[in-house]
Chain A
Amino acid sequence: MSKFRKKDGKSAPAINTSSLPDIVFMLLFFFMVATTTKEIDPLVKITPAQGVGVTDLTPFKQRSTVDFVYLGTPIKGDASKFDKGVAVQYDGLLHPDGINYIGKWKLAKFNDKPAEMTDPKENVITCFKADEKVPMGIIFTAREILRDNNFNSIAYSAAEMGNKSNYSIRVQ
């Protein structure tokens, strides 16, 4: 008599899946804690500039005291329609006035907020998320408009760079 008897057509016992929901819930909670919600879809192409010692903006985002301005070449459409080929995205749209619209946009955003939520004007940060090839002239124009409207906090967006890699600067 053989020790290993052939199973007589019986199907394999079902795997116990009662702990599967637990595992999936664990994953779910991990992702809920570790990630942040996406902002609006970008309409411009941005390769971030790099730097060390950057400040994390998450606490400011949670208090919604930061507004993002995106600068770069448009993903769709003709770049030459825009001043210097740089399109400026405010929330969901590329404004034809480009950077000169920033003052009106900031004021509208500021006035839309409920009164008990508003920080003083000068503490609401304007964060420039610019492509690495964007010329600084545009940003200084924006700075001037912001200063005239008393929005005194700005931020230059940059990706945290590892210790070893070098700055990616275009050499001409």
Chain B
Amino acid sequence: MAQREAPEINAGSMADIAFLLLIFFLVTTTMDKDTAYLRKIPKKVESKIQPPPVEEKNIYKIVINSKQVIQARDSIIEPEDISTLNSRIKHFYTVNRDRKTDRALDYPYYAFGTKELYSNNLITQQNRLDALENRKVIDDKTSKMIDQTLVAIEKWNEKLEMMNLYTEFSGKKEMPEIAFEAHIRLESFVDTDYSAYVAVQSEVQRAVTELRDEEAMALFGITWTAMNRYIQQNKLEDTPELRLYQEHVELIETLYPLRLIEVKPKR
């Protein structure tokens, strides 16, 4: 029997099917993304010991009242001038950054870490650990102290690594570190609008992001925002670039930490 050619399939309804799918997707999906400010709630601590009070100069206090008027330290900011907060917060961070003497007294001081300082601290802690481990009786108290020393050693090791990274890219021998207590304290009233609160969050975020971006651009030639986006998108892969960016981001975030304390409203 002669071989018959297969009849061509009629593809005329293909377009209809595709249109159907297209319209289904148009209806069930949205274009707008969910965007938000990520924040952490501090862990619950169950200790009765009151922590020592933080010095006034290390606090940048922002209060929003129920009429959406903002008080930032001693100045009153009307809701329409809220965008001036950006430069105020930047000023709070940077005013003492390059000063070792003649510092602005009302703003957080900077410590200048060096490689020698961190190495010395590391050696001190190491010696302490050796002394503790050589004790004849290791009771609860001693093992607790050993744990503490191990934590301290890890901390100084991290700092030393960051110092090395900073020196490598900036050529400077000293790393400026803002006082560890320095923070922004955000207070609101019970009746404060969500939009006003978010606007202040936005200004804080903007100020810190701009500072970080500038620093990252000067050190690594790429902004902090860009590195962060890369990390977020390639989180599950293990590329050398990812690890490099993670280190860089960590350094930038140590140089400009975002420490925001949100206080529960009392009124």
Contact = CB atoms under 8 A, between A and B. Distances in A.
Given A24-B15, A25-B18, A53-B202, A135 B190 contact: yes
B44 A148 contact: yes
A61 B34 contact: yes
Interface string B6-31: 00000110110111011001101111
B38 A132 contact: no
6 contacts: A21-B11, A21-B17, A57-B33, A154-B41, A169-B68, A172-B67
B33 A58 contact: yes
Contacts of B198: 49-51, 132, 156, 158
A157 B39 contact: no
Q: How large is the interface on B (under 10, 10 to 19, 20 to 34, 35 or more residues)?
A: 35 or more
A169 B37 contact: no
A68 to B, nearest CB: 8
Given A38-B29, A167-B202, A127 B34 contact: yes
A171 interface: yes
B163 to A, nearest CB: 29
B193 A134 contact: yes
Contacts, number: 202
Interface stretch (A4-12, A95-103, A139-147): A139-147
B206 A52 contact: yes
Nearest to A86: B194
Interface residues of A, number: 67
A150 B44 CA distance: 8
Given A31-B25, A171-B79, 4 more contacts: A21-B17, A140-B190, A140-B262, A146-B41
Contacts of B39: 153-156
A2 interface: no
Interface in A116-172: 122, 125, 127, 130-137, 139-140, 143-144, 146-148, 150-161, 166-172
A18 to B, nearest CB: 7
Given A169-B68, A171-B68, A37 B29 contact: yes
A107 interface: no
A35 B202 contact: no
Given A24-B15, A32-B25, A55-B36, A152 B41 contact: yes
Interface in A63-101: 66, 68, 71
Interface string A41-59: 0000000011111111111
